Each structure stands twice: as C-alpha cells, then as structure tokens.
Amino acid sequence: MKVSNYLFLPLLFLTFTSCSEEPPPPDVSDIEVDLTVLRFDQALTQLDTSDLPAELERLDDTYGSFTDAFFTHLVPVRRGDFSAEEGQNVLRAYLEYPLTRVVDSTVAEHFSPEGGGAQVPQMVEDFRQGLRYFRHYLPDAPLPDTLVTFNTHFELAAFLYGEGQIAVGLEFFLGPDFDYALVNPEEPIFSDYLAQSYTPAHFTGKLLRVLVEDRFPPPRSGRLIDYLIYEGKKLYLLELLQPATPDHVVYEVTEEQMDWLRDNETPIYAYLQREDILYSTDVNRINKYTRPAPYTPGMPVESPGGAVNYLGRQIVAAYMAAHPEVSLTELMEMTDGQEILRGARYKPR
C-alpha cells in the first residue's frame, strides 16, 4: 500500500540538534600502509599485438595473479575451452573493438599524467587514508598490499583477487561529463541513480565497500530488520573510514536525497511499523526496500532507493552510543538485527 507524500514531509518539531560538536577523527598518521599501485590499464593498451605470447608472459610476470583473474573472468582469453591461439585472437578482437578504444582513450584523458581530469595518485592517497582508518578501527582485519587499475566494458567497479589484493575499474569513475547511457541505455548499471556515483569522489568508498563486505558478508537469510541493520552497520563503519567525505558521497545519494533522509527518519520508521514489514522474510520484499533503486517503494520519489538503510544506520549509532564497551569488530559480527534494535533503545528523530 502506497502512503501519501504528506506523511513524509519534514517533521521539524521532532528533530533535535545537538549542541555538542562531533569529536574529531582519530589521528592515524602513524599507521603505515604499504600499498603498491600497478597500472594494468596502461599496460594493456600498450601491448604489441604482433607478439602476444611474449606480451602475455610479460603481463604475468608483472601483474601476477591479477592477469589470470582478468583474462579468465573479465576478458575471457583463458577460457578452458580456448586454445592459446584462440585466446590470443579473442584478445586482439577485444583490443580493436570500438568500445574498448573509447573507454581506453577516455580513461587516459581523465587519469593519465597528461590528462586534464582527476589524477590517480590523489585518488590512491585518499584510499590509503581510508586504509589507515580501516586498520585503526579493525586492527585484526587484513589490508590489501596491491591495488591494480584496469579497464573493461564496465564489468566491475572493484573486486578482490589473489591473497586479498584489490583491483579497480577506472571506467567507473569518469564523472558527470561522461554519458554512461550512451554505452547502452538499456543497461541497468548506467541508470542515473547508479551512475551519479561514478565519480572520482566515490573511488575510496567503492573500494572500502568491497573490503567491508568481504570481511563481513551480508546475511544469507533473515528478516528485513536483519538486512537493514546490516546495511546500517556498513554505513556507520564507512562514515568512520571516511571522516572527511560528505555524507551524501558515503551513502551514494545526491545532496537533496541526503537531506530528505535526515528530515524523514521518523516517517520512514512509522511506515515500516504501519506496513508491519520489519520482520518480513520475503526476499523480494527485502531487496525492494534495501537495494539501490530510483526511489524507495511506498515512499515519495524524492527518497533515494534503500532509504530504510539510513534507518539501520541510525539504529546502529544509537546502539553504539548505548554500548560503548562494544568494539566495531564485535558490532559488525552481530547478526541479529532485532537484538541490536532492542539494545539501541532507538527513538527516531
């Protein structure tokens, strides 16, 4: 049942502003982060296609297990049913494909030393700072020691490979000047609500999300309360890992949508209570409310998709305020959303 928009007007009389300032983030300058950056994207565009056997061997020597992951899962040069010669023909065809040339040239324009756009070194330094906070808050969690940059036809923004190394697809950070819909207007990943986060400002956040989700996987089953608390824990942690990053960037929404979330915390909670869905185990319904979307079903079009996740974040923050003895690792390992809700003594603002 869709509720009327007037129920989601900002309830200013229920919103209270704390007079105290947020404590400054911890000083993590003494935490060493050993991160090697490898530019596979540049190496691939410079291949000598007249001698691919030698070139592929050189890539293996330089980029290690990433090369095998790339050529097995992203560009299927090393498919099990391909001979070496067939795989080389696939690679030649990929390198000569028009979309490959467009992506490679656009990424080079934005991210090469000669390019006029955002530079990879600054993006990498921001990520290193995020890793320092990661080590501070989660001291037992492993950190990647290698970051590989690559390009494909918009297959993956980031993934882990090998022994915990991380790779990132630079074509997902070209910013608003690149019209992703021109690649394929029917492809859901190019929808405006997703493409708005394909900017250099989101580089660190997308990489950190991969690390957080690998360390603390989402529930395999459960109730809506379990899933929205899980998403809330991620948001709570990602804020701590990126203290200098605006909230709307951390949440991957627009500034206006972030304001909407802050203004409508009470109506969101009231909606979930009224619809009696907090304890629903219907997977389709859970995905409908927690996954990215143009807006959250049952709520105004001004809402971002997954608006209930913000509620999860607020519940988690209330829980941690009420239980300062709980470490972040202990919080992230808790799987019972109802237990966190009960312990939070949560009252929406």
Residue 336 CB contacts under 8 Å (≥ 6 apart), including other chains: 226
CB 132 within 8 A of CB 31: yes
**What is the dihedral sign for C-alpha 135, 206, 102, 100?**
positive
pLDDT in tens, the chain (349 residues): 333 343 444 433 333 333 446 789 999 999 999 999 999 999 999 999 999 999 999 999 999 999 999 999 999 999 888 899 999 999 999 999 999 999 999 999 888 776 655 589 999 999 999 999 999 999 999 999 999 999 999 999 999 999 999 999 999 999 988 888 888 888 888 999 999 999 999 999 999 999 999 999 999 999 999 999 999 999 999 999 999 999 999 999 999 999 999 999 999 999 999 999 999 999 999 999 999 999 999 999 999 999 999 999 999 999 999 999 999 999 999 999 999 999 999 998 7
Residue 120 CB contacts under 8 Å (≥ 6 apart), including other chains: 37, 39, 111, 149, 170
pTM over 0.85: yes
Q: Which of 234, 208, 207 is nearest to 219 (CA)?
A: 234
